[in-house]
Chains A and B, each alone.
Chain A
Amino acid sequence: QSALTQPASMSGSPGQSITISCSGSSDDIGNDDSLSWYQRYPDKGPTLLIFQVTNRPSHISTRFSASKSGNTASLTISGLQLQDEAEYFCASHTKRGSWVFGGGTKLTVL
């Protein structure tokens, strides 16, 4: 099972918005609505940002939003803050019953 494709790095200034893409196939992202997004700081376990493509846990800031079209999903972070500097990755259940992850995008807030 191939990994999902994300840009390796992105950057933005405080207050700006950025969108991180996550591309897969009809065997994973395009197969169902299991796509989720996570944030990870160095030497910490990941935390859930988005589940079921667009749903945000109640404690996650409304600055995080997401969408999906076909085999590609997107995570948008609006009003960038310095604390958003972290790694972001996507995950999807697959048709074969396994899970596949994106390579992760390191976000720098300049």
Chain B
Amino acid sequence: QMQLTQSGAEVKENGSSLKISCRASDYIFTYTYLHWVRQVPGQVLEWMGWITPYNGNLRYSQTFQDRLTITRSSSLTFAYMELSGLRPEDTGIYYCVRSSLSGSQFYFDSWGQGTRVTVS
């Protein structure tokens, strides 16, 4: 089964930028969607955006579109999430998530382990 492995915990300063990587093992996520989802303490999970690795198509949540950049490596085994203008409210756990298609419906079938981010 495909595994998504994320980069390690980060401690960032207010106003700085964050870049998290997500590696797909045993599978190149060419024909899937790769999403980023975060959870701030005490809050609901928030969908941030997705990329289609095979052609680089993107969609960002309006909440993050001004400061979020999602990219992928040329080898199509890594995806990256970069968030700029960090503030303490961005402290939380960030997940990369693969979605798959069943009929006409997508669902999140594989999650990374999460990357803990602290902004102070």
Binding site for B on A (CB under 8 A): 3, 32-34, 36, 38, 43-48, 51-52, 55, 57, 89, 91, 93, 97-104
Contact = CB atoms under 8 A, between A and B. Distances in A.
Contact of A98 (B44, B47, B108): B47
A104 B42 CA distance: 11
8 contacts: A38-B108, A45-B95, A48-B109, A51-B107, A51-B109, A52-B102, A98-B62, A101-B46
A83 to B, nearest CB: 19
- Overall SS of chain B's interface: strand
Contacts of B62: 98
Contacts of A104: 44-45
Contact of B44 (A51, A55, A102): A102
B44 A32 contact: no
Contacts of B106: 34, 93
Chain A CB within 10 Å — which of B59, B103, B112 has the most? B103
A55 B113 contact: no
Interface string B76-109: 0000000000000000000100000011111111
Contacts of B104: 32
Nearest to B102: A52
B59 A46 contact: no
Given A34-B105, A34-B106, A99 B35 contact: yes
Contacts of B114: 43-45
Nearest to B111: A45
B59 A97 contact: yes
